[in-house]
Amino acid sequence: MKFFTKILMGFCCLSMFEITAQNPIIKHIFTADPSPIVHNDTLFLYTGHDVATEADTNYKMADWHVFSTTDMATWKDHGAPLSPSTFSWATGDAYAAQCIERNGKF
């Protein structure tokens, strides 16, 4: 029982420290829900773009951004090719991007 108590106390002490990511891929905008695709030796990353401010109480996913890399160190931002307003049937925010190849296009 003493061993279990010591282990539990150790975990409690460790939980007091804040742990955050130290090496984010995208640093200039807030993104969410990444969807990776590899095509011709290039990794493409499709993400939602969160434009919420600190005063907002929820996410505000304005559009989808595309990023690519061939070396996992240097990333190119291709901008936001699509937003929910692109689609007549879409409502709300741009959540959880996913892309597939069809007829040679993505």
pLDDT in tens, 29-84: 888 888 999 999 999 999 988 888 888 888 888 898 999 999 999 999 999 998 88
Angle, CA 39 vertex, CA 26 and CA 71 arms, to 5°: 45
Q: Round the CA-based radius of gyration of the chain to a whole number and report it.
A: 20
Q: What is the pLDDT of residue 14?
A: 63
Please compute the mean of the pLDDT values over residues 82-88 and round it to a whole number. 87
The pLDDT tens digits for 14-30 are 666 666 666 678 888 88
Entry pTM: 0.72
Query: Where does the chain show beta strands of DSSP type E?
Result: 30-39, 42-50, 61-69, 76-77
Q: What is the pLDDT of residue 32?
A: 86
Query: What whole-number distance in Å separates Cα of residue 44 and Cα of residue 65?
Result: 10
> Could you tell me which of 11, 52, 10, 17 has the C-alpha nearest to residue 31?
52
Average pLDDT of the chain is: 84
